[in-house]
Amino acid sequence: MFSYLARRVLIMIPTLLVISFLIFIIIQLPPGDYLSNKMAELQSQGDQAALDKIAFMRAQYGLDRPFIEQYLVWLGAWPGANGFEGMLQGYMGHSFEYDMPVSEVVGERLWLTIVVSVATIIFTYVVSFPIGVYSAVRQYSVGDHVLTFIGFLGLATPNFLLALVLLYLGNRYLGTEIGGLMDERYIGQPWTWGKFGSIIEHLLVPTIVIGTSGTAGMIRRLRANLLDELQKQYVVTGRAKGLSPGRLLMKYPLRMSLNPFIADIGNILPHIISGAAIVSVVLSLPTTGPMLLQALEAQDQFLAGSFLMQLAALTVIGMFLSDLALAALDPRIRLGAGGTR
């Protein structure tokens, strides 16, 4: 396992480096940048002082340097105007749109995003596990048909549409605004128990909206895998030998069908965060999603780049965790795979 851990980490580090390079290419791809657009706008207005400031910022943030040098400075592997000041040093860059460091712009939005994501993951697993098991064990029962129908509905409904429907229903029948992640009086205020309670109270709707499709997909996968296992001969033998249904289910088939359930951890993290971006716009959630969209629109390259890098890091870490869990859970050779190198 130790050797596995080392080899797996060794794949992870270059992967992150390659992703960071690709992200930097992508955020540089559109012609011009935030400052050149701003400069053109100010030139048309004849604002000389602002033009001087922009020229200073261009030099300050290394935008006049070669592409590779810009990338290395952003990464923190090459000295910039203020020495080594990049992601490796915890400095995510400067947001031109907000004229402040990215870390300050993101502020508590990052934590709120993590809260929403963790709540959604917990919701997905807690809801899908019992339903998936029930649907497989009671195949073609009324309960299975009802849950399958709800599952297909969940899969087919886009998150943002569900958010709009809930917004409408909340406003029409309950007379309340569902949007937001806390009461207005807590926005921008320091953390208190009241603020925490308000977030928990507001968390239910976004969690359901963001988690519904993932939950429905997970139910379908768990049901299909468990059904496959339940048809196998060892289960028939166990049943014939008089094992109780609960014990028979828990001992092997359930464990075997958990593999895709665990493997999904890697995919679910980035999926939730990227999927939550549109929902956050619809529900006015103060998470990082809407800010990422805005940063991409405005070509605020360091802000957009830091968001994309966080998303990539979450993907790679998620994959790493799911691979570790899978290696521990199922150390069997895959049928047909080469046993030795």
Partner 1 sequence: MTRRHVYPLRSLIADDLRALAGLLLTAGPLFLAALAPVVAYVLSGLSVLFLVFAIKALLRHTTAIEIGEGGVEDRTWPGRTIRWEDLAKVQLRYFSTRRDREAGWMTLRLAAPGARITIESTIEGFEDILRSVARESTRQTIEFSASTRANFEQLGIRLS
Binding site for partner 1 (CB under 8 A): 1-11, 13-14, 76-77, 84, 88-91, 252, 323, 327, 330-335, 337-341
Shortest reach from residue 287's CB to partner 1, in Å: 21
In angstroms, the Cα distances linking 11 to 29, 94, 215, 264, 317 are 27, 30, 30, 19, 12
Indicate the residue among 73 and 121 with the shorter CB distance to partner 1. Answer: 73
Burial 21-39 (b: 16+ CB within 10 A, else e): eebbeebbeeeebbbeebb
The Cα 248–Cα 238 span in angstroms is 7
Residue 94's H or E segment, with its range, is strand 94-95
The Cα 57–Cα 119 span in angstroms is 40
Question: Which residue, 340, 185, 181, is CA-closest to 276?
Answer: 181
Shortest reach from residue 66's CB to partner 1, in Å: 20
Indicate the residue among 73 and 178 with the shorter CB distance to partner 1. Answer: 73
Shortest reach from residue 324's CB to partner 1, in Å: 11
Identify any residues that bridge with 80 across adjacent strands, giving them in sequence order: 83
Question: Which residue, 279, 288, 112, is CA-closest to 205?
Answer: 279
Indicate the residue among 97 and 323 with the shorter CB distance to partner 1. Answer: 323
Indicate the residue among 188 and 338 with the shorter CB distance to partner 1. Answer: 338
Shortest reach from residue 306's CB to partner 1, in Å: 13
In angstroms, the Cα distances linking 261 to 144, 209, 276, 323 are 19, 21, 21, 12
Q: Which two tokens stand for residue 102?
A: 């990215």
Shortest reach from residue 206's CB to partner 1, in Å: 28
Q: Which two tokens stand for residue 12?
A: 């992870």
Shortest reach from residue 34's CB to partner 1, in Å: 25
Indicate the residue among 50 and 313 with the shorter CB distance to partner 1. Answer: 313
Indicate the residue among 90 and 190 with the shorter CB distance to partner 1. Answer: 90
